[in-house]
Amino acid sequence: MDPVAIRIGSVALVRWYGLLIVVGAVAAAYIDSREAKRRGQDPDHIWSVFMWCLIGGIIGARLQFVITASLENPAYLQGYLANPLSIINTREGGVGIFGALGGGLLAFYLYTRRQRLPFWSWTDIAIVGLPFAQAVGRWGNFFNQELYGGPTNLPWGIAIDCAHRISPYLCPPLGEFTEAARFHPTFLYESLWNLGVGLVLLWLARRFSRQWPPGSIFNLYVVAYPLGRFLVEFIRLGTPLALGLTLGQFFSLAAGLAGLAVFTYRLRRAASPPPTGEPVA
């Protein structure tokens, strides 16, 4: 599997991973602009904030990977200290989705403050397209042959080149798994989950946007996406941190519970009758 989409001679110009991230981001922006127009808002704000969020997301994603990789494996930390420039080199390592979400959200917040836009109302607009971007971007893992699960006999299992195998599923003579072995395509499971989340959020936005307080659709995304990620992590190959759970699952639990708590609180607060003043004697 060639991870390079466009190559001139021996020079790799465009990789599938980066290309799919950009395609997904553009698709998300288009969906968001349609949602903004449906709500009577200026869709140009979506395209104006697009690069802000993309850059913020890339920075946050890389920072998450650097931090978590250093915590899980001291060798990464030693490498970053010895060569600080490797921190910004995404070809030496990877990125983290929760960092991408945090960085993109911070950039989005700064933009809404600068433009004096209601932050929570606009998060509901912007969030409906994000799961579709994730559904597309996850296929970059397929071309990179990474983030796969354990062996499977299911008909949709995928082959992983020996060069991309990790222990204990190495090819002979280092391991016992032949080239014919098939593995769970966890990127596909997460892609389908994201697609489902996106469709549900679009329906909820059209059904309840006038009834729920601003930010509710965003909060539900913060519940739904981590739930899928938490479940997929049980299949995906990774090193448990504690209690049999990976670091990604702990991130998912924290984000999902926080999203659920905020959603419940805001919904109850909106449903509560406003306080009435005491009668004057």
Share of the chain above pLDDT 90, in %: 44
Residue that has been written with the tokens 């010895």 in this structure: 82
With a pLDDT cut of 70, the percent of the chain lying above it is 94
Q: What is the pLDDT of residue 120?
A: 93
Please, are residues 248 and 238 in contact by the beta-carbon 8 Å criterion? yes
Segment 118-142 shows an average pLDDT of: 93
Is the pLDDT assigned to residue 218 strictly greater than 90? yes
Buried-state track 199-212, b at ≥16 Cβ within 10 A, e below 16:
eebbebbeeebeeb
Show the tokens assigned to 149: 């699960």
Q: Is the dihedral of CA 54, 59, 60, 66 positive or negative?
A: positive
List Cβ neighbours of 265 (8 Å cut-off, separation of 6 or more).
none
Report the pLDDT averaged over residues 171-192: 88
Indicate the domain borders of the chain.
Answer: 4-149+184-271
List pLDDT tens digits, range 58-102. Answer: 888 888 888 877 777 777 777 778 777 777 766 655 777 888 889
pLDDT of residue 281: 45
* Gyration radius (Cα) of the chain, Å: 21
